[in-house]
Chain A
Amino acid sequence: QITLKESGPTLVTPTETLTLTCSFSGFSLSSSGVGVGWIRQPPGKALEWLALIFWDDYKRYSPSLKNRLSITRDASRDQVVLAMTNMGPVDTATYYCAHWDSRLFDSWGLGTLVTVSS
């Protein structure tokens, strides 16, 4: 059974860098076709894809946010870390990590709400 869990700060101040960790189990990030992605959802708004890291360490980012994002993996600890710089109030959202199986997100974490406020 695949499980994922997001962790990190619930409150960040404007201009700060947000660092979120996705801890997963039930799959190996070394298996061909596998990846872990990050998706966010502002309150009352739509899902927005942020980043994806693949089994071979290939990384892809949302074009609109790529200058602020960094995704890394620690395969030995079954974790993926997302960093987002220069946080602002518009970045207040629930952040999800999800398992990527070749061409879809098939399992999601419960999400973590991050509020940006001074």
Chain B
Amino acid sequence: QSALAQPASVSGSPGQSITISCTGTNSDVGGYDYVSWFQQFAGKAPKLIIYDVNKWPWPSENFTRFSGSKSGNTASLTISGLQADDEATYYCCSYADAAVIFGGGTRLTVL
């Protein structure tokens, strides 16, 4: 059960959009619509920002700049209207037959 594949880093300028990919297999990402995404700041616990591929947690208005999608074995997180405080590490996570797999994490730098 290998970690889901994410790019180690991405960057963007304020106001721009960026996309982070998360690639798994037919047994996890491709087999279930149960992909979630977490935002983690240094020294803090992860925070859920997307679940079930493209749903927002409550209260949804806090997460509208984040959107998720999936095609085959690859899920994606898009952050629109980049802000300085989006600078964090983002992890994808997939349910896989009563088990759980995380991605390796992507460090987002806002230029």
Contact = CB atoms under 8 A, between A and B. Distances in A.
Contacts of A39: 102
Contact of A105 (B3, B40, B48, B98): B48
Given A49-B101, A52-B98, A60-B98, A103 B32 contact: yes
Nearest to A59: B98
Interface in A61-95: 62-64
B5 to A, nearest CB: 11
Contacts of A96: 45-46
Contact of A110 (B36, B45, B51): B45
A1 B14 CA distance: 34
B60 to A, nearest CB: 14
Interface residues of B, number: 25
Interface in B78-111: 91, 93, 95, 98-105
A16 interface: no
A109 B91 contact: no
Given A103-B95, A104-B48, A105-B48, A62 B1 contact: yes
Contacts of B7: none
Contacts of A105: 36, 48, 93, 100
Nearest to A100: B100
Given A47-B91, A62-B1, A104-B52, A109 B102 contact: no
Nearest to A54: B98
B91 A46 contact: yes
B34 interface: yes
Top 4 A-B pairs, shortest CB-CB distance = A49-B100, A103-B34, A47-B102, A108-B45
8 contacts: A46-B102, A46-B103, A49-B100, A58-B98, A62-B1, A103-B52, A104-B95, A109-B45
Given A63-B1, A104-B93, 12 more contacts: A46-B102, A46-B103, A47-B46, A47-B91, A47-B105, A49-B99, A52-B100, A96-B46, A104-B34, A104-B36, A104-B52, A108-B45
Interface of B: 1, 3, 32, 34, 36, 38, 40, 45-48, 51-52, 57, 91, 93, 95, 98-105
